[in-house]
Chain A
Amino acid sequence: MSALRRAPLGPSFRRPELIQLDTRERERVRALVRSRRMRCPACDGRRFEVGDTLYLGFLFVDTDLDEYMVALTCTNPRCPAPRTGVQLREHEFLEHQRPREKATGPAG
């Protein structure tokens, strides 16, 4: 057994599979959510903050190779389950292609 650790992982860490979006990409996601009239499944709210994205194509068996899940957080302060997401194609929101091997998570 070992108590050795490289660095403490705080609660605010970002999972290595997650990809941070830039401002333009977040705006594209917001526009898509608006155009699809997406509503919060928990409170029916219509406004969301856009978070990170997860590349699904590599990790999940029945997803297409260009599919991503984008984190959405309902901005309604009374929403009982504000964390949701939207599945998008790469060309719909990404400004530039990310290296997919990185998006699959750390080696090991």
Chain B
Amino acid sequence: MTDVTLNYPVWLRIEHWVNLLFITLLIRSGIEILASYPRLHRRNDSKPGSEWARFTTKTMPTDKLYDTLDEEESYSSIVALPGRKKLGMGRRWHFVSLFGWVLTGVAYYILLFATGQWHRYIPYSWSIFPEALDDAWTYLQFQLPPTLPDQPLDALQKLVYASVIFLLAPFQILTGAAQSPAVEARFPWYVKLFGGRQMARTLHGLGLLAFLAFIPVHLIMIGWWGWPELTSLMIFGHVTQLDAAIGVSLGIVAAIVVIHIAATVWSLRSPRQVQRALGAIIMRFRRFALKPLTSRQNYPRSKLSPEHRVNGKPPSCAAYQIMAVHNFADWRLEVGGLVENPMTFSLADLRALREPQTQRVLHNCIQGWSSIGEWGGVPLRSILELVRPLPGAHQICFLTMQNVDRDEPAAAEEGHGQYYEIVDIERAYYPQSLLAYEMNGEPLPIKHGAPLRVRFETQVGFKMAKWIERIEVISEYDGIGYGMGGWREDNVHYDISVGV
């Protein structure tokens, strides 16, 4: 029982409609992210064929190397934001909407408790559960149960709304955070709470399904209880001017649809603008909250994935193949640019520098799959200590032997040329930033980047360039490629810093 009148104050009405905007943006952009790896797994290794749910009809070859770029689906813009295989855009909308949704939610929680409106959702006694069961039985008989005394909801509604607001919404945020490589790397225990990286993704997907189920049930309930009256309450705060209330509510829904259409069209037609505009918001958060996190992972050997997944395809040219068949004896790594002492290393030189540092870590692909591998090699900081970056050096550019036009036909639809990636120079000094020439105790396999790849354990996989042939220390990346910080940033509009 409450002494607060559970009406519909103006803040609650505004929050309701703002929430509708953000939740629908989150759902559509979430479906875009799912499309890039349309499978759900339980285990961290994302072993092909082990998925418990798949949202694709593609079958992969067994006699030819395929990567997860080949598995990406192109969903319609009707269900995905923006659709058509635009993961970079989908991620941006998802994270910006998340900020809006969280801010809305925090304001909602504060106001809910500050004004006593929490009474509408928080149960007072365990008796609500049998009452809710009775209500469910009443609904099944196509009748309306009574509302709780002095409250706007029946017991079942109260429980469902409380679950969505206080359980499902935080659950989605927590399972989303468990998919951040920066969070996973710094707090490996956290991702284990959810049963691992892929279980977190699975639970996040089930949460999405729960929201998708909630919305039509919510609408059906409103229709059943009295669409004009309840709409009027949610527009004007009291039952009045029913036709006007329906008109205004349809107008709000239409405005939300227009925002969705505008976001979709903008993303498809001017992705660079969206990348810059939304990226400016997202990057501030990442630099503040995620960049300081360093990896503290060291999974036990028993957790190594029997088959580590692959992204990117090896350089398909005779020069590379001849180097490979000779154990990469002729391969050289040039390290230059803004350094005092430019150097060239053979594979034997790198091995001779020091005993290899090894780390057993969870690898996160931006598409959503993961695997656990042991990487061995020379810390990047050891190389930088030898070449000595000059004042004004802010970033490091990794140039690879991969030519996207030749080697990655799926990606060549989006962009061309030599694959490269750039990171801030301070990341090179993180303890687990590694130039890896070994994997799982053996020479780094060709499909994983032989003879040399880089490892940044708080980032997603595309930042960890494979088949490296040159490292360039630079002052700014604006003049390289399209100036966005890497091949994928330039061509598929990913972020330069991807700790989530």
Contact = CB atoms under 8 A, between A and B. Distances in A.
A5 B356 contact: yes
B63 A61 contact: no
B306 A1 contact: no
B316 to A, nearest CB: 4
B14 interface: no
Contacts of A9: 351, 438, 442-443
Contacts of B438: 9
A108 B301 CA distance: 13
B442 A5 contact: no
B326 A71 contact: yes
Q: Which are the 5 A-B pairs with shortest beta-carbon distances? A: A105-B445, A6-B441, A85-B322, A60-B316, A108-B308
A26 B171 CA distance: 62
B483 to A, nearest CB: 29
Contacts of B409: 61
A54 B321 CA distance: 8
Interface stretch (B101-109, B116-124, B357-365): B357-365
Contacts of B322: 69, 71, 83-85
B221 to A, nearest CB: 51
B313 interface: yes
B188 interface: no
A13 to B, nearest CB: 6
B2 to A, nearest CB: 56
Interface of B: 63-65, 298, 301, 304-308, 313-314, 316, 318, 321-330, 348, 351, 355-360, 371, 373-374, 376, 406-409, 431-432, 438-443, 445-447, 450
Interface string A46-87: 000001111011111111010001110100000001011101
A contacts with B: majority SS: loop
Contacts of A83: 322-323, 326, 329-330
Given A61-B409, A69-B325, A108-B373, 15 more contacts: A1-B358, A3-B358, A4-B301, A6-B441, A16-B445, A54-B324, A61-B64, A62-B406, A69-B318, A83-B326, A83-B329, A83-B330, A105-B447, A106-B445, A108-B439
13 contacts: A1-B357, A2-B359, A3-B355, A5-B376, A9-B442, A13-B327, A17-B445, A53-B325, A59-B446, A61-B64, A69-B318, A69-B322, A104-B447
A71 B328 CA distance: 11
A108 B447 contact: no
A18 interface: yes
A74 to B, nearest CB: 12
Contacts of B307: 107-108
Contacts of A100: 63
A11 interface: yes
B64 A81 contact: no
Interface of A: 1-7, 9, 11, 13-18, 51-54, 56-63, 65, 69-71, 73, 81, 83-85, 87, 100, 104-108
A15 B432 contact: no
Contacts of B359: 1-2
A60 B314 contact: yes
A87 to B, nearest CB: 7
B325 A107 contact: no
Contacts of B357: 1, 3
A58 B447 CA distance: 10
B316 A63 contact: yes
A2 B355 CA distance: 11
B316 A62 contact: yes
Most interface-central of A7, A52, A60, A106 (chain B CB within 10 A): A60
B432 A1 contact: yes
A27 B439 CA distance: 34
A61 B358 contact: no
Contacts of A84: 322
Most interface-central of B316, B318, B442 (chain A CB within 10 A): B442
A58 B358 contact: no
Contacts of A73: 326
B60 to A, nearest CB: 13
A1 B328 CA distance: 27
B64 A57 contact: yes
